[in-house]
Structure 1
Amino acid sequence: MPSPQRMYIDGEIGQLHVYVSHAENATKPPLYCAHQSPKNGSEFLAFMTRASQDRSVVAMDYPGYGMSDPAPSEEATSIELYARNYWRVADKLGHSHIDVFGNHTGAQVAAEMAIMRPENVGSIAMISAALLNEAEEAEFRKYFTPIPLDEAGTRFKTMWERIIGVRGPDQDLYMLAHSFRMNLMGGEAYEWGHTAAFNHCKRFHKILADLPHSITILNPNDDLGDITHRATPLMQRGEIIDLPQWGYGFMDAYTQQAVDLVLGKLDAGRK
């Protein structure tokens, strides 16, 4: 299987780094994948390579992550910004009708993309749903407060300890190292994506209730497991699939199973 192509596309505030896995004989809509914070589009590399048999698959680095240019400030960073730039990519690539798949922060981005252009989105898949109440939001904000640089390397030790601490089943050290490397590529703005997601929580509740699309939420064993179930009464055409046997990094650890599950649900949702 060929590696995804890499390219740069002009965004609102600079260049966007994009991965594209082209299908030779595409018969289904392209799939756009939106990453969690503070990672980047490369978290989908294994997934998108296997998913691109009958559709093209696209993953973008949000502004400030991976190799995309950053927003001018944390205040200028938002889920809406990420979604608008994803539509810039879709327009540039000539993709007028797409499916979307988002992971954690990316779940909000996928939903925002769909509400921006509902007629251009077929089905939606997500990993977890951050439907936080005020107390939970405050705790998450505290946990994800940026750690200042120091000579003891406290930031990097904490990052690695957290990655090890939430290690999913069958995640090997190379997968964990890739996760750590993605964090580092966020630079000093590495927590701006989490802040954008927390600022978007109330709007995310409303969007989930307003979307008429088929929505599938994968619910692995992670820090949003119980919270994700709050989506059930909100969604018009939604389904939550509990996956207690999976955890963080399951797209790398169980790539083919994840591809089969996500694509199967997206296809069923379009019928």
Structure 2
Amino acid sequence: MTIRRHYADGRWGQIHLRIDRSGSVTAPPLLMLHPTPKSGWIWEPLIPALAVGRAVIAPDTPGYGASDPPPTPASITELADEMLDLMTNLARKGVIPLGPFDVVGYHTGSVIAVAMANTAPDRVRRIVPVSLPLYDIAERTARMTRIKAGPSLSDDGSHLSAMWDHMQTLFDPRIDTGWKQESLAENLRSGARAYWGYAAVYGYDLATALPRLTQPVLLIAPEDDLWEPTQRAAPLIPNVTLTPMPGAGHGLFVLERDTIAAMIDAFLAT
């Protein structure tokens, strides 16, 4: 594996990131943003496949993985600004080339990618959201209320088995148990902050943001828990290519690595 781990300074402390810069770098850098409550770990199967001729950067967003948290929950706009600053600082240090870059996101990472693209259309060249959580205001409010209640912790560990049971409903049935265990471990790393990313998503007006996008967009739609919201989101995006992946659930970057890498490579090369 050619992935190297680094730390960069951010406004809330250190940001942990994975970087692969294999071979001669000729294409724009690629930033990969993970879902809640995971980390850049989710991208490890795809990073080497996408790092041929480009620098690939997969940070842990603040408060997740090994990145320091903000003192209070950050908004999507604040997270987008932090990721833009990260790319600026990496370019200034010569870690990645200067100039525009591309962004791939997954769930929460997709929303951050949209916010980055609207904030800095001169810097974000193309985006690849994998699933988009498009909900109306009533659903966003209801979901915000539910997640802030949060799960209670149990001395007997039953909250862990409850989390496992819930995750089983989301996993692609083809994925192996070892990967499921790693996925559960990533969920636990953020502790009581686990809901912060969801709160950021439900507090962001994605329906207004999507029509403002000026970049080409490849919207990948696995048949996961955001299958229907993603279908609703597609018509709002001006320059979109929708690619459904029926039957694919969480774990798809392991199971469908070559297909997804080829899809993203072809889109970024055009």
User: TM-score range, shorter-chain basis?
Assistant: over 0.9
Q: Where do 5+ consecutive residues of structure 1 fail to align? A: none
**Contact kept? 2:219, 2:234, Cα under 8 Å:** no
Aligned pairs for 1:49-128 (under 5 A) are 49-74=48-73, 77-94=74-91, 95-128=98-131
Q: Percent identity?
A: 29
2:236 corresponds to which of 231, 234, 238: 234
Is 2:190 the partner of 1:191? Answer: no
Inter-partner Cα distance in structure 1 for 2:142 and 2:218: 27
Shift of 1:267: 2.2
Aligned pairs for 1:88-237 (under 5 A) are 88-94=85-91, 95-141=98-144, 144=147, 145-200=149-204, 202=205, 204-237=206-239
Inter-partner Cα distance in structure 1 for 2:235 and 2:50: 30
Inter-partner Cα distance in structure 1 for 2:222 and 2:216: 19
Shift of 1:245: 2.8
Inter-partner Cα distance in structure 1 for 2:170 and 2:235: 28
Inter-partner Cα distance in structure 1 for 2:159 and 2:267: 39
Inter-partner Cα distance in structure 2 for 1:174 and 1:123: 34
**Contact kept? 2:140, 2:203, Cα under 8 Å:** no
Amino acid in structure 1 at the alignment position of 2:48: T
Q: CA offsets, 1:47-77, max 9 Å, x none?
A: 1122111211101111110011111123xx1
Inter-partner Cα distance in structure 1 for 2:126 and 2:173: 28
The 3-state SS of whatever aligns with 1:70 is coil
Inter-partner Cα distance in structure 2 for 1:264 and 1:110: 19
**Contact kept? 2:5, 2:18, Cα under 8 Å:** yes
Inter-partner Cα distance in structure 2 for 1:267 and 1:170: 30
| Aligned alpha-carbon RMSD (Å) | 1.5
The 3-state SS of whatever aligns with 1:233 is helix
**Contact kept? 1:123, 1:267, Cα under 8 Å:** no
Amino acid in structure 1 at the alignment position of 2:263: L
Shift of 1:14: 0.8
Q: CA offsets, 1:166-199, max 9 Å, x none?
A: 1114211111111111101111111111111111
Q: TM-score, normalised by structure 2?
A: 0.92
Q: Where do 5+ consecutive residues of structure 2 fail to align? A: 92-97
- How many pairs were matched up? 263
Q: TM-score, normalised by structure 1?
A: 0.92
